[in-house]
Structure 1
Amino acid sequence: MKARGDWKSIEQIKALDIVDYLALLGYEPVKVRNVNYWYHSPLRGEKTPSFKVNRQLNCWYDHGIGKGGTIIDFGMLYYQCSIAEFLQKMNVGLALSDPTTLIPKLISKSFSQEPASESKLTILQEAPITSISLIRYLQSRCIPIDVARQFCCQVSYQIGDKEYYGIGFKNDSGGYEIRTPFFKASSSPKDITTITNSGKEVLVFEGFSDFLSYQTTGRNQPIVSSDFVILNSVSFFEKACPILEQYESIHLYLDQDTTGQRITAHALSLSTKYKDESHKYTGSKDLNEWLVHNTKPHRKNLKHKLS
C-alpha cells in the first residue's frame, strides 16, 4: 500500500543520513571501517555489534535478523508501525521541501523509544495463484498471470491469530516476498533470489515486480540465455556482489530514486562489468511503472522495447 504523500518527498526522507538519524535516537557506532559504521543493534539486544550502516549507500543491514534497507525500513521496524504511520510522524503531510528541517520531526513523543518485538509472519502453505483479487492486482500492474505463475505462487500466511493470503516470491533461503493490493511484507529468512540459466550475463532487479515486468516485455522476443538476481532489498547489494562479479557483464535495472541511483553509481565505480540499464525506463521511477505507463488499454504494443 502506498503511503499518502508526494513521491519526491518520500525520497527526500530516504535521503536523510542514517548515521545522523541514529545519533538523534541516542545510538553511536562502536567502530567505523571506511564507509561502514557498526552498531549494537537498535532493534534487539546484543553484545557484539552486528548492525551495519554503509554511509556511502545510506543503507543499513542487521546481520542478526537478516533485514535491512532504507531509513524508512528501519523506522517501521524500530517503531513497529506501518509506512504511512512512520512517514506521517516524520513529516505531517510530507510537505516540507528542505530535508534538513525534517530531522527534528523524526523523533515523535507519541512513539515509544523502546522497540517492540516484531509480529511474526508465518507461512502456512503455498499454491498456484487463483485468487481473483490477486489476479486483478497483477493486471493492474500489467503483469500477465502466466508470467506471474511461472515465478510466483499464492501463499497463505498468519500474523498473530489472523490468516491472510498474497502473491509469494521465494528467495534462496526459503523465505518469501509477499504482495497484495494493500500489503507488502517478507517472511523470514529474507534473502536474494537467483534464477540461473547458465548465462554469461546477469540482470539485477531490486524487486520481483520489476523482474516480472522484464519477463513481460520479452514474452514475444527471441530467448536470450541470461541469469537473474533479484535483490529483494537494496541492502543485499553488497551480499550479491560476489555472485554478480562471476559474470562477464552485469546489467542493473534499479529504481530511479535516490537509493537506486546511489547504488548504481557505486556499482559502476567497482568494475566496468556493471552496466546501468535504467535509461530504458527514463521518466518512470522503476521498470514496472514504465510498463504500466506503456501498456495502456488502447495500445497493443509497448512504446519501445527493452532490447
Structure 2
Amino acid sequence: MIRFSIPPKSPCTNPGNKNQIYFPTVYYSIGPIADFIYVFQIWNLILKLDRCNSAAEMEPSNPHDILDQIRDLDLVDYLASCGISPQRIRGNDFWYLSPLRHETEASFKINRKLNRWYDYGIGKGGNLIDFAIIHQGTSIKELIKNISGSGNLRPHRIAFPETQHHADHKMEIIGNVSLRSDSLMRYIQERRVSISIADEYCREITFRVRDRSYLGIGFANDHGGFELRNPYFKGSSSPKDITSLLSGNKEVMVFEGFMDFLTFRTLNRGIGPDSVDFVVLNGISLFGRALPKFKAHEKVSLFLDNDPPGKNLTQYAVSLDPKFNDQSGLYDGHKDLNDWASKIGLKPYRTTRRLNHRQ
C-alpha cells in the first residue's frame, strides 16, 4: 500500500471523516505527452488502511504529492501487475508488444534506469501516469484509487533529468545505399511489397545503437530522418517527421505507415505521383503536422489503421471537412492495408534483382 502524509491540520482533510480526502479543483500538467493542462476534481477518495495500523496513522497528502509518488512507481512492476510481460530484455531496456495497439513485433520500450516508456509505433512516451491514462482510459481519480490499493508495486527510487531520456533513443546513421541485402529483399517480399517499388522509395540504412551496428530498410521523412524496419526491429531516427510526396494533384492519399504506402503502390501501379499526391504520417501522432499540406487538395483519402487510435483519428478527420474520406473499409477485418495483403496472400509483381545499384 502507498502511504501519503500531510500536516494533521491541513485544510484538505475532511473534518467529518479523517479517512477521507477532500481535494479542491487542481490544475496539473501531466508529463511530456500532454499538450494541455488537465483539470480535475477528486472528492471523498477512500484510502485503504493497513490492518495493523489505525486510521489515525494514515494522513492524506496534497494532490501533487500523490501524483509524484505514483509517477515514481516502477513501470516494469506496474506492467507486470497488469499481466503484461516483456518479449525481451537487453540491459535496462525492456521490450514489449505494445499494450496500446496491435502489433506482432515488440516496439514498446521501457528503460528501467530512467523509468520511462516509449512506443515507437505512435511516437509517444512518458511516465507511468501518461501510460495509465492512455492504456486504461481512466481518470486521475480512478488511477489513484487503483494504484493506492496495489500492494505489489514499489517506487522507482532514482530520479534522472528528462534530457537523459531523450538521449537514450538516439541512433547514428553510418550507411545509406540502395537496397541490396538479401535478407532485406526477402523481408520486403514477405511483406507483399514489390522490390522495384521499395527500391523507388526506400534506402538500405546501416545504423549504430550503443556501439552495435544494424541494417534496415529506411524510408526518409521530410526532415532527413528515417523510418527503419527489418524483421526484428521497428523504429525511427531523428528527426521524426511525416513524408510528403506532393506534385500538385487535386487528391492526396494519406497512409499511417510506409509499409501501407508501399503496399498500395505495389497493388495499384496505375495510381502514382502523376495522378495523386501521397502523405505518410509515420505515426498518427504526426497528423497535426500533416494538416496544412491538405489545404490545397479537393479530396483527402485516409488509409489509416483499423485499431482504436486509427479509427478515432479517421473519425476526427472526417468531422473536420467533407473532403476527408475513410478508405479503411477496403481492408476491413485487418489491422491495416499491408496486413490485409499479407493475410490474403497477395503476391507482388516479381522483379529481377538490379545489376546496377544507385549509390
TM-score in terms of structure 2 length: 0.55
2:332 pairs with 1:282 = yes
Contact 2:265/2:271 (8 A) holds in 1: no
Q: What SS is found at the alignment partner of 2:175?
A: strand
Larger CA deviation: 111-120 vs 133-142: 111-120
Q: Structure 2 vs 1, CA of residues 185 and 222 (structure 1 numbering), >3 Å: closer, same or farther?
A: closer
**Cα separation, 1, equivalents of 2:282 and 2:247:** 20
Give the letter aligned to residue 288 of structure 1. N
Q: Structure 2 vs 1, CA of residues 270 and 136 (structure 1 numbering), >3 Å: closer, same or farther?
A: same
User: Which residue in the other structure is 1:160 paired with?
Assistant: 210
Q: Structure 2 vs 1, CA of residues 188 and 82 (structure 1 numbering), >3 Å: closer, same or farther?
A: closer
Q: Map Cα deviations across residues 13-37 of structure 1 (whole Å, 9 max, x no partner).
A: xxxxxxxxxxxxxx9328xxxx952
Where structure 1 has 5 or more consecutive residues not aligned to the other structure, the ranges are 1-26, 43-68, 85-89, 91-97, 301-307
For residue 197 of structure 1, report the CA deviation from its aligned partner. Answer: 2.6
Q: Percent identity?
A: 36
Q: Structure 2 vs 1, CA of residues 227 and 144 (structure 1 numbering), >3 Å: closer, same or farther?
A: same
User: Which residue in the other structure is 1:60 paired with?
Assistant: none
Q: What SS is found at the alignment partner of 2:244?
A: strand
**Cα separation, 2, equivalents of 1:70 and 1:191:** 23
Alignment map for 1:44-55 (pairs within 5 Å): none
For residue 38 of structure 1, report the CA deviation from its aligned partner. Answer: 4.6
Give the letter aligned to residue 29 of structure 1. S
User: Which residue in the other structure is 1:37 paired with?
Assistant: 36
Aligned partner (choices 287, 291, 296) of residue 246 of structure 1: 296
**Cα separation, 1, equivalents of 2:189 and 2:242:** 25
**Cα separation, 1, equivalents of 2:262 and 2:153:** 38
Give the letter aligned to residue 36 of structure 2. Y
Alignment map for 1:206-245 (pairs within 5 Å): 206-219=256-269, 225-245=275-295
TM-score in terms of structure 1 length: 0.64
Q: Structure 2 vs 1, CA of residues 132 and 148 (structure 1 numbering), >3 Å: closer, same or farther?
A: same
User: Which residue in the other structure is 1:188 paired with?
Assistant: 238
2:254 pairs with 1:201 = no
For residue 252 of structure 1, report the CA deviation from its aligned partner. Answer: 0.3
For residue 70 of structure 1, report the CA deviation from its aligned partner. Answer: 9.7
Give the letter aligned to residue 248 of structure 1. E
Q: What SS is found at the alignment partner of 2:301?
A: strand
User: Which residue in the other structure is 2:28 paired with?
Assistant: 28
For residue 219 of structure 1, report the CA deviation from its aligned partner. Answer: 2.2
Aligned partner (choices 321, 341, 345) of residue 295 of structure 1: 345
Contact 1:119/1:160 (8 A) holds in 2: no
Give the letter aligned to residue 28 of structure 1. Y
User: Which residue in the other structure is 1:122 paired with?
Assistant: 172
More helix by share: 1
Aligned partner (choices 308, 311, 320) of residue 270 of structure 1: 320
**Cα separation, 1, equivalents of 2:177 and 2:186:** 17
For residue 82 of structure 1, report the CA deviation from its aligned partner. Answer: 7.8
Contact 1:201/1:249 (8 A) holds in 2: yes
User: Which residue in the other structure is 1:45 paired with?
Assistant: none
Alignment map for 1:6-155 (pairs within 5 Å): 28-29=28-29, 37-38=36-37, 76=110, 79=115, 104=147, 109=154, 114=159, 116-117=164-165, 118-155=168-205
Contact 2:265/2:272 (8 A) holds in 1: no
Contact 1:203/1:252 (8 A) holds in 2: yes
Contact 2:247/2:274 (8 A) holds in 1: no
Larger CA deviation: 134-143 vs 250-259: 134-143
Give the letter aligned to residue 239 of structure 1. R
Q: Map Cα deviations across residues 183-216 of structure 1 (whole Å, 9 max, x no partner).
A: 0111111100001232111000011000001001
Give the letter aligned to residue 202 of structure 1. V
Contact 1:120/1:160 (8 A) holds in 2: no
Q: Structure 2 vs 1, CA of residues 36 and 99 (structure 1 numbering), >3 Å: closer, same or farther?
A: closer
Q: Which has the larger radius of gyration?
A: 2
User: Which residue in the other structure is 1:170 paired with?
Assistant: 220
